[in-house]
A and B are shown apart, each in its own frame.
Chain A
């Protein structure tokens, strides 16, 4: 997709995209009397970086939890590549090609970074009980998985930590490790929940580079973020959530000039700063 193609999308909530990979329809989730998520329609364009923004409590993480099946919606449908994901288990959604990371990083503390990575590889023969007992059925694949894991660790500047326990990494490094582990599944869509939170500014720049590289490899990235510089810097498209609903969509430029968004979220000062 040419980089400026997004400018031709209709900048309204629920706008149709030419080639949506993820389509969310009428997904609702309430906690008691609070409607946490109520997304009428949202399409994510294939091969773009889409930012999901909104004030605290807007339902961004809940929406991630719903589409990755870590939480069940009260109503609604969503589909990946036209295939409905409703009623699937989280592991089935990961296998279908959509993988997520967590706001509170989930590193596997008492496993080495390399083991953390190798876990992510899909279709491993040695993960079946009976084949596990016969190493000759998985040695070859294990070597290939390890090679890929090392490549990714290298790319995320974690190669020197390969044999260290994940618990010994810094917070930022754990974010990187979790993202790298997700990539081991070779996903089509990756959902990143606040990938920059707690990461030091120097590392943020390299992370941004990684995320753009993912898109350039053809992956679709959806991420939740609060840092406006980050959002404006790398997003192709932005969807704004407030009180569970999509209140605006558009390119960074369009969104930052949208009075609804400014009211709901960005605050009146943003225009002066930006």
Chain B
């Protein structure tokens, strides 16, 4: 490894790959267009998702994971757990008559508490333990929210994790390992027994809605206050309505059609406005943090935790800070998505969400500020582009039903997407905005 790394001939100009991708997309569009398919509809559908709520929500969640993984090196494989904590914290508060802003506060606190519960016991251990714990926590939370008897499962599980954490945190090395485990088991049994008596199952299900989610029919609307604040008059808003751009580009033949059909109603526009604003604020916040001495300690921990400890940095405390802040940002994403859909249930928090968030982050480039944003837009653009194109090809009988029918398009789109992403990653392992030289150092 020499210092010539940053002038690597193979690194090439940043825009070259983007050019290839745009060229491929253009060729596909021309072929489809010549075949008589509605290409403006495919592109506008893809754009709607990329720059819409989907893009913004996943950008926000990826910003949280970026702080964890990109800047601190924490393998947080459970961002969806934080989306869930935020959504349920907010939803349950509002359904019980709490004001909207209190709901948001409760959601954020729930995410922070979850981060502490997961982080206290696992952040002292090697990195892979955090990965296992977080991916399990996401699933445990989802199953627990679906369950009609939460306290037989989730609270106990979380309290277990919490008490192990508390013990290892407060009394390291007291009485030896055996006594420690005995205490942990004791705490679990006692807490489990008390909680099953004090709370009963129906109370829990009454709050979470079990498999039905929040709000259940007849419950207060969880988004009423949010949409009361909507400044946009009722109606549809297309990209052609954007001043200047709309007038000039909207008049162009093909592009005009695309912009015209890339439209949102007033409610969607309000969610989009708020969520993208949050994305910008969160990006600035993270940028401010990581470009300070605090961020330097974080990067040092990512590179070598022991080196940071050896020069007097409390690595555990910093990892916990990163975990809590990242989790809270992810919780915001969960709440934004709940605002868009006015509803959520346990199935809104499947592991798939976690993998999408990670894909967005890796695609855009970890440890960069722009990465999560660009990654989210491009990811959702391609998901919907592939889906739209496949759907029209199936409908236009380009693809025989025996091979693929319209019911299966939304599954097959991920196969095509996976291939596309794998190809991109071979060319740009560092993602869109990542530094090539850093990716090379990793490989070394």
Contacts and interface: CB of A to CB of B under 8 A. Distances in A.
Contacts of B239: none
Given A108-B300, A120-B311, A168-B3, 13 more contacts: A87-B173, A99-B311, A101-B310, A106-B304, A119-B300, A124-B293, A126-B293, A127-B296, A132-B294, A132-B295, A133-B285, A138-B293, A182-B311
B315 A91 contact: yes
B177 interface: no
A195 interface: no
A185 B312 contact: yes
Interface in A71-127: 72, 87, 89-92, 94-95, 99-102, 106-111, 115, 118-120, 122, 124-127
Nearest to B302: A110
B303 A108 contact: yes
Nearest to B309: A90
Interface in A17-56: none
Interface string B282-306: 0001001100111111011011101
Contacts of A270: none
A116 B200 CA distance: 55
A125 B296 CA distance: 13
A111 B311 contact: no
B426 interface: no
Interface stretch (B160-168, B208-216, B340-348, B436-444): B436-444
B307 A165 contact: no
A164 interface: yes
Contacts of B297: 119, 127
Interface string A156-187: 00000100110110000000001001101100
B317 to A, nearest CB: 9
Contacts, number: 119
A135 interface: yes
A6 to B, nearest CB: 28
Nearest to B294: A132
B185 interface: no
A140 interface: no
B303 A111 contact: yes
A167 B1 contact: yes
Contacts of A124: 293
B5 interface: yes
Contacts of B149: none
A108 B304 contact: yes
A25 B306 CA distance: 25
Interface of A: 68, 70, 72, 87, 89-92, 94-95, 99-102, 106-111, 115, 118-120, 122, 124-129, 132-133, 135, 138, 142, 161, 164-165, 167-168, 178, 181-182, 184-185
Contacts of B2: 168
Given A126-B293, A132-B294, A142-B293, A184 B299 contact: no
B350 interface: no
- Chain B contact surface mostly: helix
B296 A119 contact: yes
B306 A122 contact: no
Given A94-B311, A111-B299, A129 B441 contact: no
A91 B319 CA distance: 14
B176 to A, nearest CB: 11
Given A110-B303, A127-B294, A165 B311 contact: no
Contacts of A119: 296-297, 300, 308, 311, 313
B353 to A, nearest CB: 28
B277 interface: no
B195 interface: no
A132 B300 contact: no
B1 A132 contact: no
Contacts of A185: 311-312
Contacts of A167: 1, 441, 444
B314 A91 contact: yes
B313 A91 contact: yes
Interface core residue of B1, B297, B312 (most chain A CB under 10 Å)? B312
A92 B297 CA distance: 16
A90 B310 contact: yes
Interface in B66-123: none
21 contacts: A68-B310, A91-B315, A94-B310, A94-B311, A99-B311, A100-B310, A106-B307, A108-B303, A110-B302, A111-B303, A118-B296, A127-B294, A132-B288, A132-B289, A132-B294, A132-B295, A133-B288, A167-B1, A168-B441, A182-B311, A184-B311
Interface in B410-444: 437-438, 441-442, 444
B38 to A, nearest CB: 47
A129 B293 contact: no
A190 B188 CA distance: 45
Contacts of B314: 89, 91
A99 B292 contact: no
A133 B289 contact: yes
A127 B5 CA distance: 31
B273 interface: no
Contacts of B299: 108, 110-111, 115
B441 A115 contact: no
B152 interface: no
Nearest to A137: B292
B180 interface: no
B5 to A, nearest CB: 6
B310 A102 contact: yes
B230 interface: no
B312 A94 contact: yes
A164 B309 contact: no
A120 B310 CA distance: 9
| Residue among A99, A125, A168, A181 with the highest chain B CB neighbour number at 10 A | A168
Q: Which of B5, B296, B299, B444 has the most CB of A within 10 A?
A: B296
Nearest to A160: B3
B295 A106 contact: no
B321 interface: yes
Contacts of B309: 70, 89-91, 94
A137 to B, nearest CB: 10
B8 to A, nearest CB: 12
B306 A102 contact: yes
